[in-house]
Amino acid sequence: MKSTLCTSLVNDPFGDPGMLVQFLFQKRALLFDLGDISPLSNAELLKVSHVFVSHTHIDHFIGFDRLLRTVFGREKTLTFYGPKNFIKNVEGKLAGFTWNLVDRYEESLTIEVIEVREEKLIKGSFRAIDKFKLTNKKEVELQDGIILEDPSVKVRAVILEHRVPCLGFCLEEKLHVNINKDRLEEMQVVEGAWLNELKQAVLKEKPDSYSVDVPFKRDGNTGMKPISLGQLKEDLVDVSPGQKIGYVVDTIYNEPNKKRIIELIKSADIFFCESPFLADEEARGQERFHLTSHQAGSLAREACVKKLRVFHFSRKHIPHRERFYKEAEAAFQGTLSTSTSTSTSN
């Protein structure tokens, strides 16, 4: 079945890096990196619930002010993720404005900031009603690299090297669980809240022996019958995998980074990877702590991803756009995506 996510780069491959992930059946979006976001409309920005910032170099963080201006004055919670010292970075941004008029607003914006470390997350809150003073700072354990998990998606992060810590991300859509309505009628069972229980049991990977009470109606009589999850999955449920999306920018090609990236994006449906330099500029890439087109393709091949999308090209190579694609494709030996948006069919 088709994915419920639509993914697109915010800018041209030569512009600031950024990726917008929109939920097709929800008024919600996720934003990866926060550089120049001028191509995004206010309507798109108002859908954003979580922002994942790889690091705070200006081309990845200059858009903070635009986003803040768009959501300010609304009853909304916006959650940001970033690397070491990210809470201080956000605090500094907010401290640059005067907030003496915030008490005139009936609705208040809350900014939750989560700093990703090797084995823990450091959390803090900034509320407009409190003039964006840092509150509720605390630490929680980081498990399996998962920084966000909700009923729709899971996001993992790894810390990569770019002279400063830089985060790589992987977004995993949860399983698609659908009920075969035709089989409901054939089995003479009644629709109701139990179907949600059935979906949740499948999503939570309950054992096949798990029992679900199923209401049925036969010959004008109604009743309940316990049926095993295994039987219900066979008779009623269509399960298909969700989409997996990798996003890596601004990192040097070395063995520790290579290992972390490959583990992060293994078997992804699409991998968005930076490629500021051409294949014959490997030495310059090492010096600047960036990847080449060939290295991006090699990472995608070794991770067995289905599609590769290279971007974040050096502007000095504007006349050589096609070389980036050809070199990455040659190293990848797979499908290279050059479309502006992507939604994967599963």
225 shares a domain with 125: no
Query: Across all residues in the chain, what is the average pLDDT?
Result: 93
Question: Taking the CA of residue 338 as centre, how many other CA atoms within 13 Å lie in the half-sphere pointing to its CB?
Answer: 9
Among 192, 207, 240, residue at a domain's last position: 240
Give the separation between CA 38 and CA 43, rounded to whole angstroms: 12
Give the separation between CA 212 and CA 189, rounded to whole angstroms: 13
**Which amino acid belongs to residue 1?**
M
When divided into structural domains, the chain yields a total of 2
pLDDT in tens, 87-139: 999 999 999 999 988 877 777 899 999 999 999 999 999 999 999 999 999 99
149 shares a domain with 188: no
Q: DSSP string covering 44-98, please?
A: HHHTEEEEE-S--SHHHHTTHHHHHHHHTTSSEEEEEEESTTHHHHHHHHHHTS-
Give the separation between CA 8 and CA 339, rounded to whole angstroms: 8
161 shares a domain with 66: yes
The packing angle between helices 64-71 and 86-95, to 10°, is 60
53 shares a domain with 160: yes
Percent of the chain predicted with pLDDT > 70: 97
193 shares a domain with 95: no
139 shares a domain with 49: yes
Give the separation between CA 11 and CA 340, rounded to whole angstroms: 9
Strands 29-32 and 48-52: parallel
205 shares a domain with 229: yes
Give the separation between CA 55 and CA 164, rounded to whole angstroms: 8
Q: Please give the average per-residue pLDDT across 214-239, as a whole number.
A: 86
191 shares a domain with 62: no
Give the separation between CA 337 and CA 128, rounded to whole angstroms: 41
83 shares a domain with 34: yes
Asked if 341 and 44 touch (Cβ cutoff 8 Å), the reply is no
The CATH number that applies at residue 12 is 3.60.15.10
pLDDT in tens, 153-208: 999 999 999 999 999 999 999 888 888 888 888 888 888 888 888 888 888 889 99
14 shares a domain with 153: yes
156 shares a domain with 135: yes
Range of the domain at 216: 177-240
112 shares a domain with 35: yes
Among 240, 262, 288, residue at a domain's last position: 240
pTM greater than the 0.85 cutoff = yes
- Of 294, 286, 319, which Cα lies nearest the Cα of 14? 319
Among 240, 268, 285, residue at a domain's last position: 240
Query: Coil, strand or helix: which one is 284?
Result: helix
pLDDT in tens, 263-284: 999 999 999 999 999 999 999 9
Q: Please give the average per-residue pLDDT across 318-341, as a whole number.
A: 89
- Of 338, 346, 343, which Cα lies nearest the Cα of 13? 338
pLDDT at 345: 42
